[in-house]
Amino acid sequence: MELLQTIKKIFENAGESLAFIKNETTEAKKIFYFYYKDFKSINKLNLIIKSLKAVLNSFYIEYDINNDFILKIEVKSQLNITTFESILKKVPKNKNYLLFGIDENGAPVYESLKKIKSLLIAGSSGSGKSSLIHSLILSGLLLNNHLYFYLIDLKAVEFNLYNKLLNTNRICEHVANDEKSALKIIIKFYLLIQKRYKKMMRAGLRESNETPAVLVVDE
């Protein structure tokens, strides 16, 4: 039932509700059927499914709807039916780790922010850049109780998933989705870094021992 709860949770976080009807399971895939109560926009459904794909990034996700508002979600595992949450259980908590994905054997691939000072993710359209970014953000939030994220989303669609976490000491007070708000976020982040540099200089330190802060930009 873990997959089912994950799917329902993603829709609930987006402000939508699903009524579970039934599921079918084979060795290769799981198929879930829901009644999509508040179906209003195919564009919004596409965005929610995109968020679902980001969370379940070790799966192939397909979906279909019919005239009776029955939503069919088909989940095919690349390796086996393993959820994002079960992969996270294999990663040590509160060590500033971010999850990049899984290797060919299904083992988690992760690294500490102490080693990753900056990261550039590049690739062609549809190659999975945003899915990787979601994996890094979600794993950072779920694995660590103290990471603080500053989010800039110039496409204005990728980071809506995190709006409910605003002002919770996990995400900066707003997700920037235009040039003006992005500049405010960057200035806040710059001032934070300068403040920490001054503390490090006074203490004679080369690295800060304060709560890590992460600036993420998806353009």
Would you write out the chain's pLDDT as a tens digit for each of its 219 residues?
577 888 887 887 777 777 888 888 876 678 888 887 665 666 777 778 777 777 666 566 777 777 667 888 888 755 444 567 788 888 999 899 999 888 767 788 999 988 888 899 988 776 778 888 888 888 888 888 888 889 998 887 788 778 777 766 677 767 888 899 999 999 999 999 999 999 999 999 988 888 888 999 987
Q: Which amino acid is at 160?
A: N
> How are beta strands 70-77 and 97-102 bridged, if at all?
unpaired
- Give the helix/strand (H/E) hosting 53: helix 42-55
Dihedral sign, Cα of residue 92, residue 218, residue 178, residue 48:
negative
SS (H, E, C) 17-41: CEEEEEEEECCCEEEEEEEECCCCC
Report how far residue 91's alpha carbon sits from residue 111's, in angstroms, rounded to the nearest whole number.
10
Beta bridge mates, 64: 72
**Structural domains in the chain plus CATH codes:** 2-77 (3.30.980.10), 83-145 (no CATH), 146-219 (no CATH)
Is the CB of residue 172 less than 8 Å from the CB of residue 136?
Answer: no
Give pLDDT tens digits for 128-170: 788 888 888 888 888 888 888 899 988 877 887 787 777 666 7
pLDDT at residue number 80: 43
For residue 55, how many other CB atoms are within 10 A of its CB?
21
List, in order, residues 6 or more apart from 140 with CB less than 8 Å away. 98, 147, 149, 214
Is the CB of residue 191 less than 8 Å from the CB of residue 183?
Answer: no
Report how far residue 50's alpha carbon sits from residue 55's, in angstroms, rounded to the nearest whole number.
9
pLDDT at residue number 88: 85
Q: Residue 76, Cα to own-chain centre: how many angstroms?
A: 20
> How are beta strands 18-25 and 70-77 bridged, if at all?
unpaired
